[in-house]
Amino acid sequence: MEDFLALGGNPTHESFGVIAVRLLVAAILGALIGLEREIKNHPAGLRTHMLVSTAAAAFTVMTFEIYHEMVDLSADAIARLDPIRVIEAVTAGVAFLAAGAIIRSGRGDIKGLTTGAAMWMAGAIGVAAGAGFFSVAALATVLVLVITILLGQFEKRFLDDRRED
């Protein structure tokens, strides 16, 4: 490890194990959402949701690490290191990706809204996992699956829903 640090790797505030678990939890929870989309043959599926969730977690972990690295700075410098800005940037980036999943057909039908929303939630779940809020990440994942699976079946059965998403 010392050799690695000598090459320019920064020591982290959190242990490698903690960081690995946070990223792994994000990947697994993203996979659960992506698997549901994949089974329904939607364009953004397993890998996409895993990547979105893991990337959001990685950005969150890096934000906290950078913040801890800079705690010795002046109060003015710390005030500019607002971790919320990274969450805003992750949200905007995921929204950009999610918008790509939304398609309007020639008949005016809009498809992909649920997939786009699921990608947005995968980003939020990744942020929660990256920050170590595993209970929030797990609960959000369960809610996404309930919404996409159970409410989707309810819509098709009782509301005569003919949408493909």
Q: What is the pLDDT of residues 10-22, one digit of tens each?
A: 677 888 899 999 9
Structural domain includes residue 8: no
Q: What is the pLDDT of residues 102-131, one digit of tens each?
A: 777 777 777 888 899 999 999 999 999 999
Q: Is the pLDDT of residue 85 over 70?
A: yes
Structural domain includes residue 11: no
Per the structure, the complete domain to which residue 103 belongs is given by: 56-165
Structural domain includes residue 132: yes
Structural domain includes residue 6: no
Structural domain includes residue 68: yes
Of the two residues 128 and 73, the one the predictor is more confident about is 128
Of the two residues 50 and 78, the one the predictor is more confident about is 50
Structural domain includes residue 5: no
Structural domain includes residue 150: yes
What is the residue type of 96?
F
Q: Would the pTM count as exceeding 0.85?
A: no
pLDDT given at position 1: 56
- Work out how many domains the chain is built from and give that number: 1
- Average pLDDT score, the chain: 85
Q: Is the pLDDT of residue 34 over 90?
A: yes
